[in-house]
Structure 1
């Protein structure tokens, strides 16, 4: 049986227009209650855009679009972050921008939409990326509005008609999808298990710590291969007196040990 051929392969593929990924960067990963959250969400994108510009010698006027993925497009991630980040990164005003929200697949969609724009001949060059600041804007933050009568934020629930969609009803039965209850129960069980294992299974705790250390050492050995994709960012950090200091956010410890990995920030 012959392999299926995509519409692109059959009708549109032009060897001269094969999209190529030229370069990519990211900020270090932030931690819960960490320091990266003190940056604006759009500034994280700007930081990466500027790194791409500085690392590559090219005419910025060839950029046809700026596509940025973001789930919670509120606060400093609102107002079309694809456009605002491009302007803040000092790209030409002629470069348009758009934001994408495809939930968990948003970042992948930003890349695919860029690929499609180049392959179809709409643009020759597209700069794209994605950002999420869940310390500041937890999942579903964009469902809240300020209710003046109650003088507080209230959540606007999803459209009730979704629950009457026959396929949604069927899938809910298949997956027993009372998802909120499942997540709550799983979280509770995880907390109980973690507490019990930590208090009564000391040897097992040591085994888990050893596994974590082994994983961290593997990350260190690949740092020279993958570390170049990480663009360091200076973050304000609050000291014991409440004063902001500056530190470069690190993602892994250079010389990992159990004592280092179990330290609290």
Structure 2
């Protein structure tokens, strides 16, 4: 069986809600990203067998199979198909995993796994509007208490005993690391600039917009709890509502060789798990354990981790249960600082992980995310030296 290798991975800079990226339609944003990933690789888009796109709120400008629409907008040949998937926050990472599965199965030689979300233009939850009783079945609520994710984050903080100060310090460090990464140009290779036109003006967007440089512990401490009156989870120690897109070009090792392309990493193992749906956000713990077992690796073998910072308690609980070295976790900050464009974040994590492995001359990286309704996803990649 051939290896599934990553040849290229790119992303947009991440925009704040109603910020500098908000004038761009999500299908246009995705199309630009798809075009960029093949152009950088020097690949004829006609050779792409499929495009798998993660997108969470599939309505309005993100409805009607945005994956296929973006393929056509990007100017790919009409023979190149596209599909859109929704595994909530894990959608972008699942798109990359599905791309790898298509390649590993022998069904396809080259697939793009991508993700997009414009939370400015298509608000979170807007796909729940419509006729009927709503998206949450009474049969489901008879079985489980379905609560907002912020309340689940509060449950995690209480169960693991995290204080408000611990959560705020984690968030502070996320901004600090992301700010340093921006100032040192660490994201410059993974981000491509987008020309934005709005209200008669135009500008280039190429820097993550949500990072506080410098962050302020004092301002974080002044924020009120967002979900419970006496809670510890605030807007400051939660991920930001954002806009963005990312794409990862996956192919067989043989295809890369035949095209004279350099494989930059191989996808070693992937895992998806279910977890308790009320506390909901603990899935990265068993997903990490499962993917390590599949890869035949131990935690100490992993050089870098990308753990989605949906809420600070999620990452801290994951670390406490796995014993991971926090010096290896989210080296350039995470979603609390950079933002969390839902459908794009998983592909963004893989993209950032690949580039940082290369920058540090490291070998193994693991990406994991919590997912709504109680799931977790994980992927291990191995950087290849040529």
Which bin holds the TM-score, normalised by the shorter protein? Answer: 0.5 to 0.7
> Take 1:65 and 1:46, find their aligned partners in 2: how far apart are those partners?
14
The equivalent residue for 2:7 is: 22
Q: How does 1:226-241 map to 2 (within 5 A)?
A: 226-237=187-198
Flag the structure with larger Rg: 1
Per the alignment, residue 182 of structure 1 pairs with 151
Higher strand share: 2
- C-alpha change, 1:144 and 1:21, in structure 2 (3 Å) is same
**2:179, 2:214 within 8 Å by CA — same for their partners in 1?**
no
Q: Compared with structure 1, are the counterparts of its residues 25 and 178 closer, same or farther at alpha carbon in structure 2 (3 Å cutoff)?
A: closer
1:215 alignment partner in structure 2: 177
CA contact (8 A) 2:27 2:61 kept: yes
CA shift, 1:64, in A, is 0.7
Whether the 8 Å CA contact 1:216–1:252 is kept in 2: the answer is no
- Are 1:158 and 2:136 an aligned pair? yes
Which consecutive residues of structure 1, in runs of 5 or more, have no partner in the other structure? 1-13, 148-153, 187-193, 195-206, 238-242
The TM-score normalised by the length of structure 2 is 0.46
Tell me what 2:205 maps to. Answer: 249
Q: Closer, same or farther in 2 for the Cα pair 1:258/1:56, shift >3 Å?
A: closer
Indicate if the aligned counterparts of 1:67 and 1:99 stay in contact, CA closer than 8 A.
Answer: yes
Determine which structure has greater relative contact order: mean sequence separation of CA pairs < 8 Å that are 6+ residues apart, divided by chain length. Answer: 2
Kindly tell me the number of residue pairs found equivalent between the two proteins: 204
Mapped contact 2:194–2:204 kept (Cα < 8 A): yes
Change (3 A) 1:155 1:65: same
Q: Conserved in 2, the CA contact under 8 Å of 1:35 and 1:236?
A: no
Answer 1 or 2: which has greater helix percent.
1
RMSD over aligned Cα atoms = 3.5
Structure 1 position 86 matched with structure 2 position 55: no
Distance across 2 between alignment mates of 1:258 and 1:233: 25
Alignment of 1:165-204 (within 5 A): 165=143, 168=144, 172=145, 178-179=147-148, 182=151
